[in-house]
């Protein structure tokens, strides 16, 4: 079942059980968590969110984590979380949105899962800048109706077919040509803000938090990021998933689902 709000588009997977919200990373869409959500059935009903400037959600004039968290909060408060707090799972950029959501709107969040990102500035922004530039370099007007040509042109700059497939999910047909679902111009311009983390003042979130790291990723550095994570989220547990890089949920889905089920109490009788 799909629904489109004014600012935030969502899709629901499942009909019963604990309510779980998924927030994707840069270039992603809510549907990237479909298989994870299905693996939680029938013990969870999941809300897959397209964050602003992605998927079917609205485009904005700037990137601001507080504003995006507030838009998600508005959507949840009048819908999925109308009957009380929900669990929230966020990866990368979506993990930062999830953290800010929990800090600004703690009444909406029961348990929080943050996948391979820290409440800090930095990370491998050069890689994302290169990918954004690679997408922007594709002349959509000359593609006609041939989606495969977009992959051929992107292959000149991006060798990994899996990465190309993920990126080209953002391409949608429009008449005789294509358009990008993601707001590439804004995302490239606002990349420093995406790589940052806002000042949240003295806010803390005193509910259980699962912090998931990929053992082949450097986005979470416990010695450096641990103190600020524990200050903001005093009840944090760090779990490292073996054999996973930054995209933990897609690289090691079974381990990720197992961690979610245990942390969210979905396997309890």
**Is 9 known to be catalytic?**
no
**Is 92 known to be catalytic?**
yes
DSSP-H helix ranges across the chain: 34-40, 65-77, 93-104, 125-136, 147-154, 161-167, 184-189, 191-195, 222-232, 248-251, 253-264
Residue among 91, 246, 249, 250 flagged as catalytic: 246
Instruction: Identify the DSSP state of 119.
Output: S
User: Could you give the CA distance from residue 260 to residue 262 in angstroms, rounded to a whole number?
Assistant: 5
Residue among 107, 133, 160, 185 flagged as catalytic: 185
Element (H, E) at 110: strand 109-115
**Is 185 known to be catalytic?**
yes
User: Can you read off the two tokens belonging to residue 127?
Assistant: 């890689």
User: Could you give the CA distance from residue 17 to residue 229 in angstroms, rounded to a whole number?
Assistant: 29
213, HSE (Cβ side, Cα atoms, 13 Å): 16
Instruction: Identify the DSSP state of 199.
Output: -
User: Can you read off the two tokens belonging to residue 243?
Assistant: 């054999």
CA 19 to chain centre: 17
User: Can you read off the two tokens belonging to residue 162?
Assistant: 């899996």
Residue among 9, 46, 92, 134 flagged as catalytic: 92
User: Could you give the CA distance from residue 237 to residue 221 in angstroms, rounded to a whole number?
Assistant: 14
Catalytic positions, written as ranges: 92, 185, 246
């Amino acid at each position: 079942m799909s629904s489109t709000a004014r600012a935030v588009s969502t899709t629901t997977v499942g009909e019963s059980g604990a309510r779980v919200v998924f927030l994707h990373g840069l270039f992603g869409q809510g549907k990237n968590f479909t298989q994870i959500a299905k693996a939680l059935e029938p013990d969870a009903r999941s809300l897959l969110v397209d964050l602003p400037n992605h998927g079917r959600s609205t485009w904005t004039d700037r990137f601001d984590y507080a504003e995006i968290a507030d838009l998600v909060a508005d959507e949840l408060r009048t819908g999925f979380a109308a009957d009380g707090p929900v669990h929230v799972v966020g990866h990368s950029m979506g993990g930062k949105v999830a953290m800010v959501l929990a800090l600004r709107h703690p009444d909406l969040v029961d348990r929080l899962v943050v996948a391979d990102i820290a409440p800090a500035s930095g990370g491998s922004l050069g890689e994302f800048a290169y990918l954004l530039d690679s997408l922007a370099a594709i002349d959509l007007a000359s593609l006609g109706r041939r989606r495969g040509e977009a992959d051929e042109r992107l292959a000149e700059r991006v060798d990994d077919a899996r990465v190309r497939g993920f990126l080209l999910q953002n391409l949608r047909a429009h008449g005789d040509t294509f358009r990008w679902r993601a707001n590439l111009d804004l995302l490239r311009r606002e990349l420093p803000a995406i790589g940052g983390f806002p000042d949240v003042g003295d806010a803390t979130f005193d509910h259980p938090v699962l912090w998931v790291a990929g053992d082949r990723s450097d986005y979470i550095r416990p010695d450096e990021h641990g103190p600020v994570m524990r200050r903001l989220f005093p009840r944090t547990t760090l779990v490292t998933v073996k054999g996973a890089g930054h995209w933990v949920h897609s690289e090691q889905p079974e381990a990720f689902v197992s961690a979610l089920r245990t942390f969210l109490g979905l396997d309890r009788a």
